[in-house]
Structures are given as structure tokens and as C-alpha cells.
Structure 1
């Protein structure tokens, strides 16, 4: 059973995915996210990178619905979402690969690391403020080298979904939880 903290985190994550804010996740939410990614990272239509983003979005939708759409109605309710979040296999097979795909898009030079500016660009379009992103970046940059490494990011994503520790760094992954 999810703790109150975990429940807040799941709902906040749901809000980030529910692009049209209608209270359910649908394919059009994920399609809209793909469009946002292309715009954020200045990816021209019909390019190899645009096709890759669209494929990632389609795979994300398939993964989300196969893991969460209990009533097979083609939408994902908050209840279905919250129940899926409690399962580590959902985190490992859906949430983490999605988060790392976005990380890779933001990592324009392919270094496996994000600068604070790359992270701000990636997070701002999903509704996370620059201030929240800077706080997240500082917490994730455990070795204080001015970059967030892919493995630091992945660890924080897992922690976000699975930890009930109120002081966990991963809690910052979707912005303020209040």
C-alpha cells in the first residue's frame, strides 16, 4: 500500500503526463508530449530524430496501457495509474525507460551528462519551474561536478517512484510536491 507521500508523487507524475488536463491519460496526451519534446529540442518534422521521438512516444503509450489500463478502455485513470506505480516492474519497464529517453533527448552532445541549462530546457516544458529544476539539479549532482550523470538521474527516478523516504533526492523529480 502506498504511503501518503508516494500517493502525492504518483498524482504529481500523473499530472505531468495528462497534457490536456482532462483527468485521464489518453494516446493524445502522449502525442502532445512528443510534440513538446520536438519543439523543446528544436527537432524538425520528418527528420530521423523526430521519427525516433514519435516511436518513443508510441512505445511509451503501449507500455503505459499494457501495464495500467485494467479495464481495457484505452484510457488510464488516476486509480489505474496509482495502482501501477506501486509495482517495481512498472518503474523498470515503463517509467525509467521513458525518463531516460527524455534525458537522452536533453543530452544534446550525447555525453551521458546534463548541464543545468540542458536540464532546465528539458523540465521547463513539463511545467517545472527553473527554480525547482535548479534545486533538483543541485541535489542530483552528488559529486558537485556541475553535471548530472545518466546513472544519477536513473537512480533518482527509481527513488521517486519507489521510496517513501521524505528526504529522498528522487522526490524532486517532478518539482515541488506541495
Structure 2
């Protein structure tokens, strides 16, 4: 797999573009998603998401300095890391967005989730269309997580649309 999927995700997580994902940047996505979905910061699903994201950050930050460089991220990312820590964290963001807890997101909720997480609304819409294979207007949790896993681990996924289609961003070292 090329570094392109890794570059795209890293660039999305490195909000200020300084070449490192800080603890604050990474945990802020939980707050952004909660706010976009109208969830109170003290809601149990938000607290669970914060805890899951804390675990991911500890897992990614190989040297424990509170900053994840692209090299740390590239070394860490993959199928095992996804299953070990990303699946629970990304699933917890889905759970924040799934305000009726039915296991599905409609286009509006999916778009709010993805834009709060750092994707452009148009990219989120394209990803929704690609994931909604039965055209029922809903994305289920398993399809959402499988789409992200496939993008992270192989670069080939319906979720690729969520990360844009232009050239992969350059990562500053």
C-alpha cells in the first residue's frame, strides 16, 4: 500500500498542519463530533468516546511525548492497530452520531459526523453514496467501520471518498 491513505488521515488529524498530531488535536475531535450532534460533553457515549480516543493516542504515541509524528503514525497504523484501538474509538464516534441508538446513520448525521471529524462535506457525501450500497438512505455501524478499516489498511474502500480525491497532502517533518 502507498502512503497516500496514511498521509490523508494524518493530515486530517494534524489539524494545525505542524507535522504532528498533538494529544489536544486528537481528543478535540470527540468534542467536535459531540457538539455537531448536540450531545452534552458529560453524556455517557461522549465519555466512552473520550476514553477510547485516549487509548488510541497512547497507542500511537510511541515515545510518549504527547505528539505523534507521521513516522510514528506510519509505524503504528495497520490492521492490528485498527482492530486493537481504532475500531473502538471510531465506533464510539459513530455512537455519538447515532442519537437514536438504532445502529444506523442517515445522510445528515453521517455528514455531520464526518465533517466534525475533519472531512469536507462534499467528500462525506460521496463516501455516504459509496457506502449506501442498497440505497436505503442509511449506513450501518459495521459498514462504516469496515469502510474505514479497508481505507486505512489497503487504501481501497468506499470511505476513500471521505478523504478527498486530489493528490495526497505533503507531510512536514
Q: Same fold (TM over 0.5)?
A: yes
Task: Report the structure, 1 or 2, having the larger strand content.
Answer: 2
For residues 78-136 of structure 1, give each alpha carbon's deviation from its aligned partner in whole angstroms, at most 9, with x where no partner exists.
01111222x32112112222221111111111111110000111112233222211111
Structure 2 unaligned runs (5+)? 168-173
Whether contact under 8 Å (2:49, 2:89) holds in the other structure is no
Whether contact under 8 Å (2:98, 2:104) holds in the other structure is yes
**Aligned Cα RMSD in Å?**
2.1
Aligned equivalent of 1:145, options 136, 139, 151: 136
Q: 1:76: which partner in 2? A: 68
Whether contact under 8 Å (2:33, 2:112) holds in the other structure is no
Whether contact under 8 Å (1:12, 1:177) holds in the other structure is no
Structure 1 unaligned runs (5+)? none
Q: 1:172: which partner in 2? A: 161
The structure with higher relative contact order (CA 8 Å, sep 6+) is: 2
Q: Flag the 1:53–1:139 CA change in 2: closer, same or farther, 3 A.
A: same
Moved more, 113-122 or 123-132: 123-132
- Give, in whole Å, the separation in 1 of the partners of 2:86 and 2:44: 24
Q: 1:158: which partner in 2? A: 149
Figure out how many residues of one structure are paired with residues of the other and give that number. Answer: 167
Q: CA deviation at 1:9?
A: 0.9
Q: 2:83: which partner in 1? A: 92
Whether contact under 8 Å (1:107, 1:114) holds in the other structure is yes
Quick check: 1:22 aligned with 2:18? yes
- Give, in whole Å, the separation in 1 of the partners of 2:158 and 2:30: 27
